[in-house]
Structure 1
Amino acid sequence: MMRIAGLAGLALVLATGAFAQQADQPLLSGEKAFGDWKADRPGVRRLLKPEDQPKPDATESASNGGGVTDRPEGAKPKLPPGFSAELIASGIENPRVVRVAPNGDLFVADSRANQVRVYRLAEGSAKPAKESIFAKGLTRPYGIAFYPPGDKPQWVYVANSNSVVRFPYSDGDLEASAKPETIVAKVPASHHWTRDIAFSPDGKTLYLSVGSGSNIAEDMGARPKGGVEEWAKSQPLGEAWGAEQGRADVLAFDPDGKNRRTVATGLRNCSGMTVQPATGALWCVVNERDELGDNTPFEYATAVKEGAFYGWPWYYIGDNEDPRHEGARPDLAGKVTVPDVLMQAHSAPLNIAFYEGGNFPADYKGDAFVALHGSWNRNVRTGYKVVRLKFKDGKPTGEYEDFATGFVMSDDEVWGRPVGVAVAKDGALILTEDGNGTIWRVTYGG
């Protein structure tokens, strides 16, 4: 990896106020919304529709992994006017999902270190008053959830790449008091390994996202015995077979791990899940497939509808057939659910959090923040930022807006790759990024 920051890149990162835009900027749509990192800045607004997607292979597929460099001294995320970011911690091996305990403690999945960290911040500050390793010896932990939902959870659930486990929890615990109890075993872990979890508001359902084992089901194997038509009669709509059966799905269980069922299929890699407070709906952010060109297909965020099929691997964003599976599943044409919010291709959304805090301006309430990690499969990189999804009366408008940018320094260098977003008890927004292993606290006003 490249670890040298150029002077030009440093100047770009430090110019925190130079590119701030107000919310009255024009809404970019269609091809005008196909920007890259150079056009990204707080306040830039985009609206993409299914018909805006270019045809497959309109551009040649790229291999363009980001060269991660050291964070320049003083570099911070660029934010809209009135917002500021303070560093909570740095030098963490692989901070991914962050979730907030009812008492305000920040639980952070340090995935490659196979542990979960805890940070207790001093009141009104980004400075940790206490920090600890809650649990070690895990297997690429990612999703974290407290059970039962509410003020007095008794368990912390953690999604490993290959299982879901839980630890007893009492308010304020900084270290696990017992060994993990396995709740869901034998979760397939190859290829896409980021398993997220969430509980329904009533606490009766545990949701688990399981990403695909490949880009477009290259290893699915021979068609089922008796043919696809016979297979489809006994399976959820759009369920894959072979090595991909039970993958690219959102699954549901009782809190004890029993009573497994399938909620929705065809979600290639739902790396982030949350429940919308206003409606109780489950939401996913999804990494779509690679190698169809710079701007195809769009990534997305969506409310997950029971029994819905979202296309993978045969279709994408509605009835757009993947040319690599041409004619394979005509029975699914017209049965693909179109996602709610479309985002630029190869942005790599990894986590989502709805804002219901009291620190940000009132018009942020009910909106959602999504962390875009950035992808290798684009000629000029995009993503590497946090965006705000706009909602009105609990429903998405389809529009999204750049909120935190400045992580890219040049065409070849990035210092930050956003992963986790969460709303702290005091209304601050907590961001993690795994390029330099940092955690940030974002607040509004003085």
Structure 2
Amino acid sequence: MRTGSKIGLAALAVVLLGGAGFVRFVMYPESASLDAAEGTGPSPTLPKPNPTLMPTVNIARVARWEKGAKPVAASGLRVAAFADGLEHPRWLHALPNGDVLVAESNKPKTDDPSTGIADWAADKVKAMAGAGVPSPDRITLLRDKDGDGVAEERHVFLRGLTSPFGMALVGGELYVANADALVKVPYVEGQTEITAAPVKVVDLPSGINHHWTKNVLASPDGQKLFITVGSNSNVGENGLDVEKGRAAIWELDRASGKMRAYATGLRNPNGLAFEPATGALWTVVNERDEIGSDLVPDYITSVKEGAFYGWPWAYWGNHADERVQPPRPEMVAKAIAPDYAVGTHTASLGIAFSMGSTLPDAWKSGLFVAQHGSWNRRPKSGYKVIYVPFKDGKPAGKPVDALTGFLDADEKAQGRPVGVTLDKTGALLVADDVGNAVWRVSGSAGTQ
């Protein structure tokens, strides 16, 4: 049932949607803190909610890199273009032979009649931020044939996709997470094009596609596939019927084809990775918007089997979101807190553990997190790649900026980082969907 009015990004069009609604807005005093460092670590500072009549909209307009320009690497690191001139590169997958797959993708076009003025306004804002281009719907293969850190070859590797995102290779089968289904194609090492039509493995929730990106990761033994599915709303304002199967990480048994919910209450999980020391599955999650610049922190967390992480009724453990009606105190009580906050509204998407990399020692025992950048925060947050040091399988220290400079002096976006992975040489690759590039981060000369 809907009991209030939905006030979301539609406010940009100075339109208030009346009628029944699932969310009611509770007004609180203005949040005091606007410190960009708030909302990090295992126990972040959480101010009182501040859901204002019109949401804070502070997104970076697109400037794109000038010729020869690039992000700024931290001390001990250097960055160069592995490939440029791509078309909205979102996600990366490094193949065993050293080839790199890039999903060039964007939000699927929808003619869903339930997509109203709020989604129209949201799309206009995303267009300002460089996300309004049609989806290329393809995977491109990049090959660094001479090993100099630059891809001399590129090939259209796979077409016939629907807003592809995550990729996973298991034996001779390449799995691709489309916006609406997990599909697979045969793969032979070294090939530069797949002409076989993708075969559907399982349908995935789609439709309005508030969060359209789906990721997939194979278990180390290749028997299971883990698939992320984000929510179809901010906090359930479209009704819970359209949230069926969403806000969750699913586990697919490859042998039987059976799916089960592995963890739930995750508003928008994206990156997936296994922590090398413990073998635990980790993810990064985009939390909810429109209750203040300092709420709610995005986070990285180990994923506990069968756990519920709160969405939409609660955030960061047992903090109830009073916008969600009717209240469900039993769900709030059930929610567990994540492991580590990475800042509010950062839109953190890709993660990659650095153990086993060839990066300097200061950068090879932690997790890299690509932060695409905020729209609902003042001042802006994200728009960089950070590094979270780990020890004994857990975060062990403050986040450190690894790659910055994606915003220019006027706070326009020259680029925005999305997917991250290690290449065969142990360097870090970063997909930049606004800059249309893949950046390669390695150690500076003389560093260890």
TM range (shorter): 0.7 to 0.9
Map of 1:244 onto structure 2 = 243
- Higher deviation after alignment, 88-97 or 368-377: 88-97
State how far apart, in whole Å, the 2-side matches of 1:142 and 1:206 are. 15
Map of 1:346 onto structure 2 = 345
The alpha-carbon distance between structure 1 residues 309 and 47, as it changes in their structure 2 partners (threshold 3 A), is: same
Q: Percent identity?
A: 41
Q: Does 1:127 align with 2:150?
A: yes
What is the RMSD of the two structures over their aligned residues, measured on CA atoms? 2.1
Q: Does 1:57 align with 2:50?
A: yes
Q: CA deviation at 1:295?
A: 0.8
- Higher deviation after alignment, 119-128 or 195-204: 119-128
Map of 2:229 onto structure 1 = 210
Q: What secondary structure, in the 3-state scheme, does the structure 2 residue paired with 1:91 have?
A: coil
For residue 161 of structure 2, the aligned residue among 138, 141, 161 is 138
Q: Output the amino acid matched with 1:34.
A: D
Q: What secondary structure, in the 3-state scheme, does the structure 1 residue paired with 2:242 have?
A: helix
State how far apart, in whole Å, the 2-side matches of 1:358 and 1:162 are. 34
State how far apart, in whole Å, the 2-side matches of 1:280 and 1:358 are. 17
- Higher deviation after alignment, 119-128 or 76-85: 119-128
Task: Kindly indicate whether the alpha-carbon contact (under 8 Å) linking 1:349 and 1:371 is maintained by their aligned counterparts in 2.
Answer: yes
Map of 1:27 onto structure 2 = none
Q: CA deviation at 1:292?
A: 0.7
State how far apart, in whole Å, the 1-side matches of 2:353 and 2:198 are. 29
Q: Does 1:314 align with 2:307?
A: no
Q: CA deviation at 1:375?
A: 1.8
Task: Kindly indicate whether the alpha-carbon contact (under 8 Å) linking 1:366 and 1:394 is maintained by their aligned counterparts in 2.
Answer: no
Q: Does 1:163 align with 2:181?
A: yes
Following superposition of structure 1 onto structure 2, how do residues 108-127 of structure 1 map, counting pairs within 5 Å?
108-111=102-105, 112-127=135-150
Map of 1:89 onto structure 2 = 83
Task: Kindly indicate whether the alpha-carbon contact (under 8 Å) linking 1:288 and 1:299 is maintained by their aligned counterparts in 2.
Answer: yes
The alpha-carbon distance between structure 1 residues 249 and 358, as it changes in their structure 2 partners (threshold 3 A), is: closer
The alpha-carbon distance between structure 1 residues 212 and 58, as it changes in their structure 2 partners (threshold 3 A), is: closer
The alpha-carbon distance between structure 1 residues 158 and 51, as it changes in their structure 2 partners (threshold 3 A), is: closer
Residues 50-102 of structure 1: CA deviation (Å, up to 9, x unaligned): 45111111887311222111312332111122311111222222101111011
Residues 106-152 of structure 1: CA deviation (Å, up to 9, x unaligned): 111001200001111134423223211110121000001110xxxxx
State how far apart, in whole Å, the 1-side matches of 2:74 and 2:93 are. 24
Q: CA deviation at 1:293?
A: 0.7
Task: Kindly indicate whether the alpha-carbon contact (under 8 Å) linking 2:358 and 2:364 is maintained by their aligned counterparts in 1.
Answer: no
Map of 1:437 onto structure 2 = 436
Gaps of 5+ in 2: 1-31, 106-134
Task: Kindly indicate whether the alpha-carbon contact (under 8 Å) linking 2:39 and 2:343 is maintained by their aligned counterparts in 1.
Answer: no
State how far apart, in whole Å, the 2-side matches of 1:400 and 1:430 are. 19
State how far apart, in whole Å, the 2-side matches of 1:260 and 1:296 are. 33
The alpha-carbon distance between structure 1 residues 279 and 52, as it changes in their structure 2 partners (threshold 3 A), is: same
- Higher deviation after alignment, 295-304 or 75-84: 75-84
Q: CA deviation at 1:343?
A: 1.4
Normalising by structure 2, what TM-score?
Answer: 0.81
Q: What secondary structure, in the 3-state scheme, does the structure 2 residue paired with 1:414 have?
A: coil
Task: Kindly indicate whether the alpha-carbon contact (under 8 Å) linking 2:40 and 2:297 is maintained by their aligned counterparts in 1.
Answer: no
Residues 378-415 of structure 1: CA deviation (Å, up to 9, x unaligned): 12211000011110022222631111001111454111
Map of 2:203 onto structure 1 = 185
Q: CA deviation at 1:174?
A: 1.3
State how far apart, in whole Å, the 1-side matches of 2:255 and 2:136 are. 27
Q: CA deviation at 1:172?
A: 1.2
Map of 2:379 onto structure 1 = 380
Task: Kindly indicate whether the alpha-carbon contact (under 8 Å) linking 1:216 and 1:289 is maintained by their aligned counterparts in 2.
Answer: yes
Map of 1:7 onto structure 2 = none
Gaps of 5+ in 1: 1-30, 37-44, 148-152, 221-240
Q: What secondary structure, in the 3-state scheme, does the structure 2 residue paired with 1:102 have?
A: coil
Q: What secondary structure, in the 3-state scheme, does the structure 2 residue paired with 1:431 have?
A: strand
Q: Does 1:79 align with 2:78?
A: no
State how far apart, in whole Å, the 1-side matches of 2:387 and 2:308 are. 26
Q: What secondary structure, in the 3-state scheme, does the structure 2 residue paired with 1:442 have?
A: strand
State how far apart, in whole Å, the 2-side matches of 1:305 and 1:398 are. 22
Q: Output the amino acid matched with 1:340.
A: D
Q: Output the amino acid matched with 1:259.
A: K
Q: Does 1:99 align with 2:122?
A: no
Q: CA deviation at 1:321?
A: 0.7
State how far apart, in whole Å, the 2-side matches of 1:308 and 1:127 are. 42
Task: Kindly indicate whether the alpha-carbon contact (under 8 Å) linking 2:158 and 2:193 is maintained by their aligned counterparts in 1.
Answer: yes
- Higher deviation after alignment, 45-54 or 283-292: 45-54
Task: Kindly indicate whether the alpha-carbon contact (under 8 Å) linking 2:211 and 2:233 is maintained by their aligned counterparts in 1.
Answer: yes
State how far apart, in whole Å, the 1-side matches of 2:256 and 2:101 are. 22
Q: What secondary structure, in the 3-state scheme, does the structure 2 residue paired with 1:196 have?
A: strand
Q: What secondary structure, in the 3-state scheme, does the structure 1 residue paired with 2:323 have?
A: helix
Task: Kindly indicate whether the alpha-carbon contact (under 8 Å) linking 2:42 and 2:339 is maintained by their aligned counterparts in 1.
Answer: no
State how far apart, in whole Å, the 2-side matches of 1:394 and 1:173 are. 36
Task: Kindly indicate whether the alpha-carbon contact (under 8 Å) linking 1:183 and 1:257 is maintained by their aligned counterparts in 2.
Answer: no
Task: Kindly indicate whether the alpha-carbon contact (under 8 Å) linking 2:168 and 2:175 is maintained by their aligned counterparts in 1.
Answer: yes
State how far apart, in whole Å, the 1-side matches of 2:256 and 2:380 are. 40
